[in-house]
Amino acid sequence: MINKDYLINLNEAQKDAVMHLEGPLLIVAGAGSGKTKVLTSRIAHIIKEKKAFPNQILSVTFTNKAAKEMHNRVSKILGSVAIGLSWLGTFHSICAKLLRKHASAVNLNSNFTIIDTDDQTRLIKNICKAENIDIKQLAPRFILAVIDRWKNKGYYPSEVVINKKDIYEKTVLPLYTIYQNKLKDLNSCDFGDLILHTVKIFEQYPDIRKIYSNNFKYILVDEYQDTNFIQSKWLNLLSEKNKNLCCVGDDDQSIYSWRGAEIKNFLEFDQVYKNTKVIRLEQNYRSSQNILSVASNLIANNQNRVGKTLSTTMEEGDLVKLNCFKNGKDEAIGISDEIEKKLKKKYSFNNMAILVRAIFQTREFEERFLKIGMPYRILGGTKFYERAEIKDCVAYLRLIYQKKDDLAFERIVNNPKRSIGDTTLKTVHEFAQENYLSLEEASIKMINQNLIKPKTKIGLSFFLNSLNKWRSDLILKKISHIKLLQIVLDESGYSAMLKNKKDLDNENRLENIKELLSAMKEFDNLESFLEHVSLATSIDQEWDGEKINMMTMHAAKGLEFDVVFLPGWEEGIFPHQKSIEEKGQNGLEEERRLAYVGITRAKKKAIISFSMNRFYQGDWIDSMASRFIEELPEKNLEKNSFFDEEAGEVDDFEFNQDFELEEGTRSPGWIRYQKRIK
């Protein structure tokens, strides 16, 4: 039963976006303007007006968290009808679903494994070793970054055109070829492949493309400003029949170019899709007017933007604070004092955040918080599914499910210890390569041919026999995936390994495994659980207890807090010098968008700060206030300077220190800074 009240609490622009159902639509959604409400209401409206059945609507997000939130909201409106929304999810999850149906078109089996970054790195290391590539000279992470860039552009190895200015591409391209062949042998994909393979299938098999293009009468995309070339192409192919492509986003929050995002997808949308209707959501429901005024004034200095003017019905609120400190240590003390003396009585720790440009900036705050006993968390640390013990458990399950998963085999064949060393594993690798076998198949043949040393043979045979037994438990006895993991942990000796060594770390690892078993209960079978693990890319953390939140501004996107501290607004740190050196004006504009994102995370209080001196790379340096500070509107600011007033000491700080002395000359601070960076 559809709740027909979904239009009641929408403003006029939101209603317009919901009810426009013919042709391409670009929704320019400012920070805190209710874009998720618009997307979910739009889905409800499409179904209510009988424009499409639920399974004819494709709704794409970037994170599992966003997909889950959207599904929950839609369910509240649509009730049981929401069950039919089978195509609501992330780019990767939807592409994985499509690819499993048509895996044979790219020479894969439908039960292919999706490998994560750790597995990718190990695979590249093995390839480099075989090809005599020195990983100290050419790091695996760099190689993978180049490969990922090619995939984001839609290139298979045979389609890559070498950039002659890039001296490394010539070396990386053959490795890309080997890497893709290895993935095929392993019946595996990486994340880039999920979209790339799907696009290639659509291009090479028009009949397959036609099925989905005809089926998806409406396509909705969240955070469109974060899409890359291959994602944009995928959407273009799917929308070629019905043209009802609705993209929502904010060009002022495009901060992921380093991840392949192309802001031009957003800026040129109405040029690519003819007769596009553009609707601006400019009513902010998050922040006070002073916060919005500061953010809007700052971002107005960017040239490459669609443009919008945010407003709010909320009160003006407190002025945005702009604080100057003597040094970085004083900045940490000043912020912790403000939290303790003024804020914690009114706001919870969970609703306060410190947002930094670079993760190294958290050090001084951590030291200070530890000293005074203030609880804190760093978001963006080790994720649950990236913890070693969790990856071990998942590797066991992956190998049971898919015999050719050599990467999982490598990880757990000697974990716990079974007298299977690196030398043996190398020998098995070579035998497998020579005979075109998986590592498991090679191990069986080598045992049968007595090519394994007796001591090693015992451990390896036990492991292989255990695998067969566990597969029988799963397939023939049809035991649950939860019970299977419990059996594996017991029979492999993994649980005993952790229990026998009593220390805090191992106790934590055991608790994490218990949590994993609890998490598995949410999935019907092993396949769906493994797919979830492969696609679990969000930065979700355990929010246990009241803690101050610390994270980078990149990690803060999509979040909101009552109080936001923005420290370290100094030239070289923010805007980041590397970004400007590598990307010039485009880099500067992205840094400014990052500042905009940081400020607009605040609902009630925003506190920007910088220091005159900072201990950096083992030395004290003179700092200069960020150029962004000059772009903040004076009338919306409360300026404060914090210095120890010792005898004879004069506070000569001026907020407009970066003044013109004469034509072509800048202030002393600017001159000092230029000397330092040369």
Tell me the β-bridge partners of 218. 57
- Paired strand residues for 219: 58, 245
Tokens of 315: 């009160």
Asked if 222 is an active-site residue, the reply is yes
Is 233 tagged catalytic?
no
Give the Cα separation of 525 and 175 in Å (integer). 36
Rounded alpha-carbon distances, angstroms, from residue 202 to 221, 239, 315: 19, 12, 51
Local structure of 419: helix, strand or coil = coil
- Selecting among 40, 180, 253, 361, the annotated active-site residue is 253
Q: Which of 119, 193, 222, 226 does the annotation list as catalytic?
A: 222
For 610, list phi and psi in degrees, rounded to 5. -150, 165
Length of the chain: 678
Q: With the C-alpha atoms ordered 523, 528, 530, 536, is the resulting torsion angle positive or negative?
A: negative
Q: Which residue has the tokens 């255990």?
A: 466
Which residues lie below 8 Å from residue 223, measured CB to CB, with a gap of 6+? 61, 62, 66, 248, 249
User: Which residue do the tokens 């772009």 mark?
Assistant: 631
What's the rounded Cα separation, in Å, for the pair 282 and 303?
A: 19
Task: With beta carbons less than 8 A apart as the criterion, state whether 672 and 622 touch.
Answer: yes
Confirm if 284 and 310 have CB atoms less than 8 A apart. yes
Instruction: Take residue 433 and report the two structure tokens written for it.
Output: 């390569």
CB burial of residue 307 (10 Å; 0-12, 13-18, 19+): exposed
| Separation between Cα atoms, residue 338 and residue 291, nearest integer Å | 19
From the number of C-beta atoms within 10 Å of its C-beta (0-12, 13-18, 19+), residue 614 rates as: buried
For residue 499, count CB atoms less than 10 angstroms from its CB and return exposed for 0-12, middle for 13-18, buried for 19 or more.
exposed
3-class secondary-structure state, position 229: helix
Instruction: Write down the catalytic residue from 116, 119, 193, 223.
Output: 223
Which residue among 557, 601, 603, 614 is the active-site one?
601
Q: What is the rounded distance in angstroms from the CA atom of residue 220 to the CA atom of residue 293?
A: 30
Exactly one of 15, 36, 387, 453 is catalytic; which is it?
36
Yes or no: say if 645 and 603 are a contact pair by the CB < 8 Å rule.
no
Catalytic: 344? no
Residue 253 annotated to the active site: yes
Check if 280 is active-site.
Answer: no
| Residue 226 a catalytic site member | no
Q: Known catalytic residues?
A: 35-36, 222-223, 253, 601
